[in-house]
Amino acid sequence: MALFNPVPKAQETKKADPVIAPEAKEPTVATVSPAEERTKPTVIMTQIDSYLHEVIQSQPKEIEDAVSHVLSLSEDTGLHRLSLPEYFEKMSYDCTRGSTCSYHTKDSKGQVINHGKFVFRWILKDKRAIDHAKTIRGWVIVSRVLSEFRESPHTLFSANGGVEIGDTLLMVMPIDRAMKLRRFPSQLSQERLKGQMTPSKTKPGKMVMTGNLDSDHVYEPVSSTQGGEEAVEGAPAGGLEMTEGRDF
């Protein structure tokens, strides 16, 4: 007895074709650009560590070059903590290096004969001090940006571009303005002193320290040593009398 197949021959399932795996490819290597190779992690440092890092990066590679501008302090030579480096000493109006200075010539009294054309001053490295010196007084921070100092050695300057010794910053000013600033306190004092000196009316050749001798607040004492009418009535001729038994 023949069996009946309900599925038509056309719809009979076919065997799946064998799957052929693709050929294995060699792994690709990603190229890294030079900029990515130089990428470094961010390092957070304290203020002093950051300052030291900048100083180390800016200082010369040779020890002799790094210490060539350092002053050798000595009482015999006249060098001190605020003596100028030799490069600026030759431009200075004042002599700051004592007997070691090879630029300034002095007379028998120790006065400088050949002055430089600039006056230098060390200012405290503080914002208020620097702003007052720069804005009010007219001092300029010494840097290689100024045309007069473009040929100065790089070793003289710190990381911020200025010349520093400890907690002080070097500033400069032309001679004419600096001399006016130096003479101003003396001139002002003399003018005030002259305004308080008036010739005495009772003592020829004497001066009274007042600007208004006719004021009721001014008293001109009479000296007992001059005798005559100027002597104080009842005063002893020998001066003050000492009283025994009294402790003054």
Give the confidence band of 213 by pLDDT, cuts at 50, 70, 90. low
pLDDT on residue 23: 62
pLDDT in tens, 111-154: 889 999 999 999 999 999 999 999 999 999 999 999 999 999 98
Mean pLDDT of all residues belonging to the chain = 76
Q: Which amino acid is at 206?
A: K
Which residues is 112 bridged to in the sheet? Answer: 106
pLDDT on residue 248: 46
Burial-class residue 199 by CB neighbours within 10 Å (0-12, 13-18, 19+).
exposed
3-state secondary structure of 140: strand
